[in-house]
Each structure stands twice: as C-alpha cells, then as structure tokens.
Amino acid sequence: MKVTINSVHFKADSKLEEFISNKIEKLCGKMDDVQGVEVNLKLDNTDTPENKIADIRIMLKGNDLYSSKQCKTFEEATDKAIDALKNQIEKHKNRFDK
C-alpha cells in the first residue's frame, strides 16, 4: 500500500509525516482491497487558529473513501479525519459482507 503525503504551500516535517503514516497503517492494515492512500495538508487563509486542513482519500477497488477535517493542528485534523474514515470503513465492510 502506497501512502502519498502532499503539503500545499509549506514543507511538512518528518515527524508529522511519520505520525500520519503510522495512523494510516493502523487504519488500513486489516483491509485487503486498499490500493493507495493520498493525504493533502493545507493551510486555510483565515485569521482563526483552526486553519489546518487534512484531506485523506483511501483508494479502494471500485470506490474511494474520503474525509476532510479542519483543526488547530495537523495532528488533530488527521485524527478527526481518521475517525470519520473508520465509520466509513465499517459501513463499507457491512455493505459487502451481506
């Protein structure tokens, strides 16, 4: 499984990339049909401190799962996006287990 991390208009440090990769590996480790994962990190041009956006797309055979969250830190945004993807994965598994 290939994990691609893109940071838009800034350079993500290796600790952040490692944090995201570990979370993705845990999330997708038990799934067989994952073809790849794409993570986009962006800074929103707002005056609020909650200007970090994490977009995560899990590419599966047939369809993709997607989540985007905005928080104060990229780690928090990643955690919330992963939580949303966990719910989508459960729905995806239940739909095909029937």
Q: Where are the domains of the chain?
A: 2-97
pLDDT one-digit tens code per residue, 42-92: 998 878 888 999 999 999 888 899 999 999 999 999 999 999 999 998 887
* Residue 17 burial (10 A CB sphere; 0-12, 13-18, 19+): middle
According to CATH, what is the number of the domain 2-97? 3.30.160.100
Phi/psi of residue 13, each to 5°? Answer: -75, 165
DSSP state of 30: T
What's the predicted TM-score (pTM) here? Answer: 0.89
pLDDT one-digit tens code per residue, 11-40: 999 999 999 999 999 998 878 888 999 999
